[in-house]
Amino acid sequence: MITRQRPAAWVIALLAALTAGLVTAGPAAADDDDEPAQPSPKVELVLDVSGSMRARDIDGKSRMAAAKQAFNEVLDATPDEVALGIRTLGANYRGDDRKTGCKDTELLYPVERLDKAGRTDAKAAVATLAPTGWTPIGPTLLKAADDLTDDTAGRSRRIVLISDGEDTCQPLDPCVVAREISAKGIHLTIDTLGLVPDAKTRDQLSCIAEATGGTYTSIRHTDELAGRVKQLVDRAADPVVTPVEAKGAAQCTDAPRLRSGLYTDREEFGEHRWYRVDVPEGKELRASVSVSADRAVHQDYGVLLRAETPNGREIVRGQESGDGRTDVISTGLRYPRPEADDADEDDKYGATETVCLRVSNSFSAPASVKKTPGMPVELAVDLVDSPDEASDVASFGLGHGWWLLGLLVLVGFVAGLVWGWLSRWRFAVWRTN
């Protein structure tokens, strides 16, 4: 019986080896081209360990416990290509001397790429922290900027500051420090997260983030903290793109003309902003917009991105709604420019067609919340070659892996035929015996 099973096992092993060889052979050619190594993006997590972090108001546990849990999740999920470090503020000095307390900042874990041992070491270092002293945000930001500064061009640098209170080391204003860091031109972004913040803390952290083109997020739950920090660390791994300021208009005729690129603006609650894009024949317009709620807002809100002709006829729209679970809401749209012979009379504008993009939001806020400046808006515009309809439909959802799917189907078909033949052969042998 053992002898009769060997041909089947042998054939299956051969097919498995053949499949593995073919699958590996596909992408191997792409690896032949040696590309220069890209510099690792650098992120430093700056954690407030001052005495107020003892407060137990985040999901029934202390702010410090919530931060530790979030850090453990973030360290596990940090991409391999990101160099990550951890700096603390207010973690060591317990006394009342202000001068000493305002120097209390420490590089808890150096900025480096994390392997398995590194993730374990970083978690162990975070586990030892206990809420202790002052809140020297300004001095800590200066040190953190030094940690991330080097001569490597094209490197993404990001500080993620997590704090639950105002800086206690005035007159060194952390907003002024952030502006000085931005003025150095080292492409360093500071994102801030406020743990159960009051109005003064929110204003200060918003000011720090705004000075460097970063974002501010109000945090009241552990999962919000972990999710937002993961998002910011992942964002650091993206290519460095410097957004261009584009001030939207109240109507399309006065709107700025945008080319492919990334743009920033600010929009007040319930406002409409207009922008224009010239779309040549044979091109497809792809646009997306994100609106950040950088202050306390009511739940239930939405954002609308609408493409229209100059005379107000809607072409296509993208829309999304939210319920307060995230501080950023995004949507997008695609518009393939039709050929001139097939276009309606109203859409014939010669070699290019002017498309009006309208960004609208339905955010609202309590009367005590400042309406100005408006909320941060990020608008991405891209003009690409219009895809061939047949190929676009054929490959939809398959990406570049269609050949692998076809290969697996073929191998499965051949394996089925061989297995059927072997089964018949074994049955015939059994009958003759």
Residue 112 sits in a domain of what CATH number? 3.40.50.410
Residue 257 lies in a domain: yes
**pLDDT value at 11 more than 50:** no
What is the structure's pLDDT at 186? Answer: 76
- CA-only gyration radius of the chain, Å: 28
287 vs 388: which has the higher pLDDT: 287
**Domain boundaries, position 214:** 42-236
Q: What is d(CA 66, CA 78) in angstroms, rounded to the nearest whole number?
A: 18
What is the structure's pLDDT at 351? Answer: 78
Residues 46 and 79 in one domain: yes
11 vs 293: which has the higher pLDDT: 293
Contact of 83 with 42, CB cutoff 8 Å: yes
Residues 262 and 229 in one domain: no
Q: Whole-prediction pTM value?
A: 0.55
What is the structure's pLDDT at 394? Answer: 35
Residue 14 lies in a domain: no
pLDDT tens digits, one per residue of 122-144: 999 999 999 998 999 999 999 99
**Of 153-157, 250-254, 308-312, 351-355, which gets the smallest average pLDDT?**
153-157
pLDDT tens digits, one per residue of 290-303: 888 878 888 888 99
Q: What is d(CA 380, CA 258) in angstroms, rounded to the nearest whole number?
A: 10
Token code pair at residue 221: 């739950």
Residues 197 and 266 in one domain: no
**Of 30-34, 247-251, 255-259, 322-326, which gets the smallest average pLDDT?**
30-34
Phi, psi of 32 (to 5 degrees): -70, -30
Residues 313 and 372 in one domain: yes
Residue 130 lies in a domain: yes
**pLDDT value at 72 more than 50:** yes
The predicted model gives 366-385 an average pLDDT of: 87
The predicted model gives 169-181 an average pLDDT of: 88
CA 168 to chain centre: 32
**pLDDT value at 326 more than 60:** no
Q: What is d(CA 214, CA 207) in angstroms, rounded to the nearest whole number?
A: 10
Q: Please, which residues bridge with residue 31 across strands?
A: none
Residue 372 lies in a domain: yes
Residues 132 and 263 in one domain: no
Q: What is d(CA 216, CA 208) in angstroms, rounded to the nearest whole number?
A: 9
**pLDDT value at 1 more than 50:** no
- pLDDT > 70 fraction of the chain, expressed in percent and rounded: 79
Residue 328 sits in a domain of what CATH number? 2.60.120.380
Residue (of 35, 136, 44) closest to 84 by Cα position: 44
Phi, psi of 16 (to 5 degrees): -65, -45
Residue 60 lies in a domain: yes
Residue whose structure tokens are 């206990």: 130
242 confidence band (pLDDT: 50, 70, 90): low
Task: Write the DSSP assignment of 231-291 as a string of letters.
Answer: HHHHHHTSPP---EE---BSSGGGPPEE-SEEEEEEE-TT-EEEEEEEEETTEEEEEEEEE
pLDDT tens digits, one per residue of 46-69: 999 999 999 999 999 999 999 999
Token code pair at residue 139: 């001095």
Chosen domain end from 218, 236, 254:
236
51 vs 420: which has the higher pLDDT: 51
Residues 311 and 340 in one domain: yes
Instruction: Name residues whose C-beta falls within 8 Å of residue 203's C-beta, 6 or more positions apart in sequence.
Output: none
Residues 46 and 129 in one domain: yes
What is the structure's pLDDT at 247? Answer: 93
Instruction: Indicate the residue type of 164.
Output: D
What is the structure's pLDDT at 387? Answer: 59
What is the structure's pLDDT at 323? Answer: 75
The stretches of 32-161 forming alpha helices (DSSP H) are: 63-77, 98-101, 116-127, 137-148
Q: What is d(CA 420, CA 426) in angstroms, rounded to the nearest whole number?
A: 10
275 vs 351: which has the higher pLDDT: 275
Phi, psi of 297 (to 5 degrees): -130, 160
Residues 257 and 287 in one domain: yes
Provide the number of structural domains found in the chain: 2
Residues 307 and 181 in one domain: no
pLDDT tens digits, one per residue of 377-402: 989 999 888 755 433 333 334 444 55
Token code pair at residue 82: 């990101």
Chosen domain end from 347, 371, 387:
387
What is the structure's pLDDT at 35? Answer: 47
Chosen domain end from 236, 269, 284:
236
Within 13 A of 257's CA, how many CA atoms are on the CB side? Answer: 6
**pLDDT value at 22 more than 60:** no
Residues 151 and 285 in one domain: no
Residue 33 lies in a domain: no
**pLDDT value at 100 more than 60:** yes
223 vs 33: which has the higher pLDDT: 223
Residues 344 and 284 in one domain: yes
Instruction: Indicate the residue type of 347.
Output: D
